[in-house]
């Protein structure tokens, strides 16, 4: 009888932590992992950008890359105006959408 009480007490402790563990696992697969994948895709996209690529910054500024630096891009925003942007300021989703439209128009 004493061993049964001890086993129930030990199992009860694990039973209390099981929901917390499950919450962490769900949180990891639905929040942390997708965010890490998005960051990895953004970094890869930024490394692939080169001169004459059209981009959109996180501030919504459209332009064409004129010069690629180690940590920044020199972007022509029109009428000969050039602005230097940090590479992290390039919006992955908007820039990809801008370039996909351009490719689809060429194919049509």
Contact by Cβ (8 Å): 55, 98: yes
pLDDT tens-place values along the chain, 108 residues long = 444 444 455 555 677 788 889 999 999 999 999 999 999 999 999 999 999 999 999 999 999 999 999 999 999 999 999 999 999 999 887 777 776 655 555 555
Contact by Cβ (8 Å): 57, 90: yes
pTM greater than 0.75 (yes/no): no
Backbone region of residue 75 per phi and psi (left: phi > 0; alpha: psi in -120 to 50; beta: other values): beta
**SS3 category, 68:** strand
């Amino acid at each position: 009888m004493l061993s049964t009480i001890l086993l129930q007490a030990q199992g009860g402790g694990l039973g209390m932590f099981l929901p917390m563990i499950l919450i962490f696992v769900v949180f990891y697969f639905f929040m942390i992992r997708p965010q890490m994948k998005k960051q990895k895709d953004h970094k890869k996209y930024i490394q692939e950008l080169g001169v004459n690529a059209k981009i959109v910054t996180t501030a919504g500024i459209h332009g064409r890359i004129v010069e690629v630096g180690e940590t920044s891009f020199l972007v022509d925003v029109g009428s000969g105006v050039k602005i230097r942007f940090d590479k992290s300021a390039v919006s992955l989703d908007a820039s990809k959408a801008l370039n996909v439209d351009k490719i689809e128009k060429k194919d049509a």
